[in-house]
Structure 1
Amino acid sequence: MTKPPTDPAAVDKAALRHAALDLRDELAAEDRAAAAAAIAARPLPVTIAAGTIVSGYMPIRSEIDPTPLMRRFVEAGAGLALPVVRGRGKPLAFRAWAPGVSLVTAAFGLLEPSPEAPEVTPDVLLVPLACFDRSGHRIGYGAGHYDTTLATLRAAKSAVAIGLAFAAQEIPRVPANEWDARLDLVLTETEVIDCR
Structure 2
Amino acid sequence: MTASHDPHPELTAAKAQARAHAVAVRRLAHADYGKLAAEKLAIHLDCIPFAVGTVVAGYWPMGDEIDPLPLLEALGGRGCTLALPVVSARGQPLTFRAWSMGEALEPGPHGTKHPLATAPMLIPQVLLLPLLAFDAAGYRLGYGGGYYDRTLDQLRRQSHVTAIGVAFAAQRVGAVPRGPHDQTLDLILTENGPLQPENA
AA of the residue aligned to 1:73: L
Amino acid at match of 2:134: F
Counterpart secondary structure, 2:50: coil
The answer to whether 1:52 aligns with 2:54 is: yes
Say yes or no: does 1:112 pair with 2:123.
no
Identity %: 41
Question: 1:78 is matched with which residue?
Answer: 80
**Compared with structure 1, are the counterparts of its residues 192 and 180 closer, same or farther at alpha carbon in structure 2 (3 Å cutoff)?**
same
Q: CA deviation at 1:51?
A: 2.3
Q: State the 1:30 CA deviation.
A: 5.6
Unaligned runs of 5+ in 2: none
Distance 2:174 2:32 in 1: 26
Specify the SS of the correspondent of 1:100.
Answer: coil
Q: How much does 1:180 deviate?
A: 0.5
| 1:144 counterpart (130, 146, 166) | 146
In 2, distance between residues paired with 1:141 and 1:69?
A: 23
Size of the alignment, in residue pairs?
Answer: 196
Q: Summarize the Cα distance change of 1:27–1:43 in structure 2 as closer, same or farther, 3 Å threshold.
A: closer
- Return the offset for 1:108: 2.0
Match for residue 133 of structure 1 among 129, 132, 135: 135
**Aligned residue for 2:176?**
174
Unpaired segments ≥5 residues, structure 1 = none
Which amino acid counterpart does residue 171 of structure 1 have in structure 2?
Answer: V
TM-score when normalising by structure 2 = 0.92
Distance 1:175-1:30 versus aligned 2 partners, 3 A rule: closer
* Aligned residue number for residue 21 of structure 1: 23
The one of 15, 39, 42 aligned to 1:40? 42
For residues 95 and 35 of structure 2, the distance between their equivalents in structure 1, rounded to whole angstroms, comes to: 28
TM-score (norm 1): 0.94
Cα 1:52–1:108, aligned 2, differ >3 Å: closer, same or farther?
Answer: same
Between 117-126 and 37-46, the greater mean CA deviation after superposition:
37-46
Deviation at 1:47?
Answer: 2.8
User: 2:157, 2:30 → 1: CA distance?
Assistant: 40
Which stretch of the first structure deviates more once superposed, 105-114 or 137-146? 105-114
94, 97, 117: which one pairs with 1:95? 97
Range with bigger deviation, 137-146 or 105-114: 105-114
**Alpha-carbon displacement from aligned partner over 1:125-161 (angstroms, at most 9, x marks no partner):** 0000000001110111000000000000000110000
CA shift, 1:164, in A, is 0.5
TM superposition shift of 1:105: 1.1
Alpha-carbon distance in 1 for matches of 2:71, 2:45: 10
Whole-Å separation in 1 of the counterparts to 2:9 and 2:38: 35
- Cα contact 1:51–1:79 (8 A) shared by 2: yes
**Partner Cα separation in structure 2 for residue 93 and residue 164 of structure 1:** 19
- 1:172 and 1:58 map into 2 onto residues whose CA distance is 28
